[in-house]
């Protein structure tokens, strides 16, 4: 018997439910679970390195800045705070973060790591799960996304055409261990898709939970002469959970 004739309604289609939409002016840095602003106290004269600026969050990084590991620099925020609590992304769930970013020409791709978004489990010492990075490839500045745990390149596109322009990011992650995870990465500029790439059958879960990190996390080992005082702007941050 047809389910409609039996009075049985079909299951609702999965939908993206908005779970987080901070305002820099209203929420400030309370929008995030943690703030890692010059955690080694290396450059207090430039504080704060992370702050609201108009409708965006600004992450400033200077050549003088050092992290607690002195071969690198870090100005980052983690997680999605909602009032007195924060979102917990668990295995078996699917999440989506969208935002706009402006990468000035002073924030260059490097021969070693420069990450501007990471997916990680909480705690120190654990590797990232996925990273959005600015990397020099055969001398060319690129922006890329990798699943770090398996060194799987999801996608890569030239960075220089994006310098100085607002770029929209759409990142989706199905959280799963082994080969049960997947990611999708979309960059758009002025309504035009720059890159849209996906990978399935990848590990996107280590332990406990997953949370996003944004900011600038940069190695000092670059050999291209690309290290400059720089900043990154992020706006229109949104987080959705796929609800079935």
Residue at 28 is within a domain: yes
Domain-located, residue 202: yes
Confidence of residue 2 (pLDDT cuts 50, 70, 90): low
Q: Domain span at residue 64? A: 15-243
Give the dihedral of Cα atoms 15, 182, 21, 189; nearest 10 deg: -100
The tally of domains found in the chain comes to 1
Q: Residues of the chain with pLDDT > 90: what percent?
A: 91
Q: How high is the pLDDT of residue 149?
A: 87
Q: Which pLDDT band, with edges at 50, 70 and 90, does 12 fall under?
A: confident
Residue that wins the pLDDT comparison between 226 and 12? 226
Q: Is residue 9 part of a domain?
A: no
Q: How many CA atoms lie within 13 A of 176 on its CB side?
A: 15
Q: Does any domain span residue 168?
A: yes
Could you tell me if residue 33 is inside a domain? yes
CATH, residue 176:
2.60.120.200
Contact between 232 and 101 (Cβ < 8 Å): yes
Please give the Cα distance from 35 to 148 (Å, whole number). 23
Rounded to a whole number of angstroms, the distance between the first and last alpha carbons of the chain is 25
Contacts of residue 7, defined as CB under 8 A and 6 or more positions apart, other chains included, come to none
**17-44 average pLDDT score:** 97
Within a domain: residue 2? no
Evaluate whether residue 7 is within a structural domain.
no
Condensed to tens digits (0 to 9), the pLDDT of residues 164-173 reads: 999 999 999 9
Distance CA 13, CA 18 (A): 16
Q: Among candidates 110, 160, 117, which has minimal Cα distance to 134?
A: 110
DSSP string for 101-122? EE--TTS--BSS-EEEEEEE-S
Structural domain contains residue 47:
yes
- Averaged pLDDT for residues 198-206: 97
- Whole-number pLDDT of residue 82: 86
Return the DSSP state at 106: T
């Amino acid at each position: 018997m047809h389910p409609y004739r039996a009075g049985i309604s079909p299951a609702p289609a999965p939908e993206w439910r908005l779970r987080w939409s901070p305002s820099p002016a209203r929420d400030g840095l309370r929008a995030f679970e943690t703030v890692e602003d010059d955690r080694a106290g290396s450059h207090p004269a430039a504080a704060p390195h992370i702050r609201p600026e108009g409708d965006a969050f600004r992450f400033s990084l200077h050549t003088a800045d050092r992290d607690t590991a002195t071969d690198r620099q870090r100005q980052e925020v983690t997680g999605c705070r909602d009032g007195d609590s924060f979102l917990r992304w668990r295995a078996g769930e699917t999440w989506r973060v969208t935002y706009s970013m402006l990468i000035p020409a002073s924030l260059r791709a490097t021969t070693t790591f420069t990450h501007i978004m990471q997916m990680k489990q909480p705690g120190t010492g654990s590797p990232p799960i996925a990273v959005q990075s600015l990397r020099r490839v055969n001398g060319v500045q690129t922006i890329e996304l990798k699943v770090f745990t398996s060194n799987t390149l999801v996608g890569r596109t030239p960075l220089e055409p994006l310098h100085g322009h607002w770029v929209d990011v759409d990142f989706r992650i199905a959280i799963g261990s082994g080969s049960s995870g997947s990611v999708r990465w979309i960059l758009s500029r002025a309504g035009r898709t720059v890159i849209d790439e996906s990978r399935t059958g990848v590990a996107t879960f280590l332990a406990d939970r997953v949370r996003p990190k944004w900011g600038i996390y940069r190695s000092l080992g670059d050999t291209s002469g690309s290290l400059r005082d720089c900043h990154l702007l992020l706006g229109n941050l949104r987080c959705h959970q796929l609800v079935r």
